Structure 1
């Protein structure tokens, strides 16, 4: 893995330098200054929230735990890393930079945040400073110029081979941990116990994961962002939904699986139908595919799944037009993924900004662009039995074409979501998630 990353990193850095040159020219700046950021302080406390480095910083370097550090890039010059290594006996001090990337940077180590700022281009320079606005760093406050951000975000959609290799690794870690979670479910563990099995196998603590894991047994699968973790196992585990990822040098995987307990054949059949549908959508991650059109196509396919299992009696066209499918599938088909789980530029019209609106009636879709090679997106259709949405559906004319006895039968299982991370290529898509599971 190390040798592979070492061979890919120089071209990755060359790509970032080329993009930075153009972004600075568009914005009228001479220097790109990127803050790693500093931790946010908890309200009325002397403790900080877990540190998450600025994704722009992580884009250049495989460093995730170096608060107070900076990258400075000036076109035509070797990029600089101003590395904060404080003298501190309260916390672990970051180790001196090492690894396959260090030869590509001029590195200056400082002991104090003020010394780091002193090494940045001065306030009179035309500098684009990218970083969080809070907490502000005196003398180097972020300005996040829109023209620069738009250009960088647009091109960040296209992953380099180096980035894809890290995303493959994040998927491999996540897939191994998912296998452990399924085993814990089959063994009768509680949600908390399943989560602990996941963390142990991933060898990552909660703060290191790219997002808070969702581990839901039975009805809890109907809560889209369920993060409660019951400590006691239910009397009977009927179903299990886990949405959990892993990190590799700041890059994320985002994986969801749903399982039926042994002996629950009808719910297993519904899971199997959703599995087949999801794989059909993933196969359509190809250059030129409109993501919103794929999302709407998914609604029609899921309407057929609902019909096949006796939940609705109407046609797919009627189910979509009347909003019935939206009650069972209330979120978007997926989103861009990379340095962030919900990565940037999903709605962006071009490298100079602009917005592509969501299609009417689909307010939670997180991507509206046309797919192009080197983009990575999630494909995560869902089918849920959510009390609030079902009660609203009962008050519509379409309620007459719904078999409410079938709905009540499936309600104790919560819901189904199956999610893969898929790379758009010049040909057939690369399914990072399925490839990772094949190795476990």
Structure 2
């Protein structure tokens, strides 16, 4: 999609134009029937603009930071919140957010840009066993689903166990309708610089997603490496 700010966008009539961002969220199924779910964001034309590169690097930093911390017994909710803090800190450095990062994430101000969960379980289904209900798959007696915007959409929050397969897919999106709504309500305006944010309307969105398996001591990214560093992506797109 060239409208990456629209999650699960089903429109396919767009013409790619230089300067846009292309979000490619792809799935595949192995001969063993197990699923994969990987996302990359690419610059149409082969080169990121300065602004695109800045936002992309924040998303990549969030993904790498959370992958590095995954291990058995870690509540996945903690990984989600860590991704949110990395995103909030990066946006603060760009002047889009302000104030204390911990406080901003605690109240959910970052969810203007990161309105979904960090990831979900995978197996024979891309969203493993979710027909049973997300709360039965991603939650248990030790962790209850939040009702806070953004965090409420986290599909997996419980402690990780060896052998779990899951996605890690942080993102940053500039959703015009949501920005306009929050700005009119002056929602979290102590943490959000709406004047600066307004200059990003039309930017779209960026998401980076990989699949990982939890090992006895940490985690391992599944599959052969797919370029995701800025220079690697530009090199592939320009080839």
TM-score by length of 2: 0.81
Superposed CA offset, 1:8-50 (max 9, x none): xxxxxxxxxxxxxxxxxxxxxxxxxxxxxxxxxxxxxxxxxxx
Are residues 1:276 and 2:58 paired?
no
State the 1:355 CA deviation: 8.6
State the 1:279 CA deviation: 0.8
Q: Which residue of 2 aligns with 1:225?
A: 8
Trace 1:46-61 onto structure 2 (pairs within 5 A).
none
Bigger proportion of residues as helix: 1
Report how many aligned residue pairs link the two structures: 218
State the 1:360 CA deviation: 4.1
| Matched position secondary structure for 1:245 | strand
Q: Is the 8 A contact 1:379 1:419 kept in 2?
A: yes
Whole-angstrom distance in 1 between the partners of 2:142 and 2:61: 33
Question: What residue ranges of structure 2 are gaps of 5+ in the alignment?
Answer: 228-235
Runs of 4+ more than 4 Å apart = 353-356
Q: Which residue of 2 aligns with 1:322?
A: 107
Q: Which residue of 2 aligns with 1:243?
A: 25
Change (3 A) 1:374 1:397: closer
Q: Which residue of 1 aligns with 2:230?
A: none
Superposed CA offset, 1:132-187 (max 9, x none): xxxxxxxxxxxxxxxxxxxxxxxxxxxxxxxxxxxxxxxxxxxxxxxxxxxxxxxx
Change (3 A) 1:231 1:387: closer
Q: Which residue of 1 aligns with 2:88?
A: 303
Whole-angstrom distance in 2 between the partners of 1:349 and 1:408: 38
Q: Which residue of 1 aligns with 2:162?
A: 373
Q: Which residue of 2 aligns with 1:256?
A: 39
Change (3 A) 1:413 1:358: same
Whole-angstrom distance in 2 between the partners of 1:263 and 1:316: 27
Are residues 1:363 and 2:145 paired?
no
Superposed CA offset, 1:82-130 (max 9, x none): xxxxxxxxxxxxxxxxxxxxxxxxxxxxxxxxxxxxxxxxxxxxxxxxx
Trace 1:26-425 onto structure 2 (pairs within 5 A).
216-217=1-2, 220-234=3-17, 236-249=18-31, 250-261=33-44, 262=47, 264-344=49-129, 347-348=135-136, 356-361=143-148, 362-394=151-183, 395-425=185-215
Change (3 A) 1:366 1:398: same
Whole-angstrom distance in 2 between the partners of 1:344 and 1:327: 29
State the 1:381 CA deviation: 0.8
Structure number with the bigger relative contact order (C-alpha 8 A, sep ≥ 6) is 2
Q: Is the 8 A contact 1:329 1:383 kept in 2?
A: yes
State the 1:299 CA deviation: 1.7
State the 1:358 CA deviation: 1.3
Superposed CA offset, 1:211-269 (max 9, x none): xxxxx11xx110011121125334x4421111111111221110111123525112112
TM-score by length of 1: 0.46
State the 1:311 CA deviation: 0.7
Whole-angstrom distance in 2 between the partners of 1:266 and 1:397: 25
State the 1:287 CA deviation: 0.7
Q: Is the 8 A contact 2:109 2:192 kept in 1?
A: no
Change (3 A) 1:416 1:369: same
Change (3 A) 1:285 1:321: closer
Whole-angstrom distance in 1 between the partners of 2:42 and 2:195: 22
Q: Is the 8 A contact 1:381 1:417 kept in 2?
A: yes
Change (3 A) 1:231 1:398: closer
